[in-house]
Each structure stands twice: as structure tokens, then as C-alpha cells.
């Protein structure tokens, strides 16, 4: 079987699939929802303060008590997030950097713990009067 140039070697895939997440770190960020994925119970959120790896757009798994239909796109929220991090092996990090030009030293997973709608509209109405 001939491998495609873009495919990753099995040992890299094994390292990524077998990565073990450390204890979650609780983060609080503000931002807004870009997209709601009803079937998957996930949302994409644009956050104002970056997470550890520099991203401002993250995908969050929704907890059972948050219904996707209740999530409003474009509204400003405060997100309480559990960030889970699984470091990759040094050999994998070097391969991704040198062969694929990807700067990635860990895999991240984000789980929404709490979603609080911010009252931004009332702040604007006060300044206009």
C-alpha cells in the first residue's frame, strides 16, 4: 500500500490517540458564541482572553444542564471552562514541527461548566442617555 504524502506515520497517530489528559484547569473567559452544533451538543466560542496555547476560538462540549437551543449566537457570555491538556511526546512534537510545519506540543479539550449571559445592552444604554 502506498502512503499519501500528507498522511501521518502510525507512531504519530498512536501518540495523539493515546495522549492522556491531566487534571482539568478551571478558566473563566468572556466572549460570544459563533456556532451551535445541536446534534453534537457543542459550541464554537470566540473569547476575548486567549487560552494557554494562544487561541481565541475554541470548541466547547456542553454539559447536560445546558441545552444547545438556549445558546444565543452573538450574545456576550461569561464562560466557566474546564481546560484539559494532554502533552505530546517530544519526538511527535519535533516531527510535526519539522515535517508538517505545525507548532503543537499538546492536545486540548474544553468543557463548558457554566454559561452566564452578560448584560451588555444596559451598559450601552446608560452611556447614550
Tens digits of residue pLDDT in 41-96: 999 999 999 999 999 999 999 999 999 999 999 999 999 999 999 999 999 999 99
The conformation of residue 73, written as its DSSP 8-state character, comes to B
Q: How confident is the model at residue 2 (pLDDT cuts 50, 70, 90)?
A: very low
What Rg do the C-alpha atoms of the chain give, in angstroms? Answer: 18
Sign of CA dihedral 101, 103, 104, 105: positive
User: What is the reported pTM?
Assistant: 0.81
Q: Residues 6 or more apart from 92 whose CB is under 8 A from it?
A: 11, 12, 15, 16
pLDDT for 10-30, tens place per residue? 999 999 999 999 999 999 999
**In this structure, what C-alpha cell is assigned to residue 64?**
447536560
Q: Identify the structural domains of the chain with CATH numbers, from first to last.
A: 10-118 (2.40.50.320)
Amino acid at each position: 500500500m502506498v502512503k499519501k504524502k500528507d498522511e501521518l506515520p502510525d507512531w504519530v497517530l498512536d501518540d495523539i490517540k493515546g495522549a492522556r489528559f491531566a487534571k482539568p484547569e478551571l478558566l473563566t473567559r468572556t466572549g460570544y458564541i459563533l456556532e451551535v452544533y445541536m446534534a453534537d451538543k457543542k459550541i464554537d466560542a470566540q473569547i476575548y482572553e486567549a487560552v494557554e496555547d494562544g487561541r481565541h476560538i475554541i470548541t466547547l462540549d456542553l454539559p447536560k444542564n445546558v441545552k444547545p437551543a438556549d445558546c444565543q449566537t452573538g450574545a456576550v457570555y461569561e464562560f466557566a471552562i474546564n481546560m484539559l491538556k494532554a502533552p505530546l511526546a517530544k519526538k511527535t512534537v519535533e516531527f510535526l514541527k519539522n515535517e508538517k510545519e505545525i507548532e503543537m506540543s499538546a492536545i486540548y479539550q474544553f468543557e463548558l461548566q457554566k454559561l452566564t449571559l452578560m448584560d451588555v445592552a444596559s451598559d450601552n444604554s446608560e452611556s447614550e442617555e
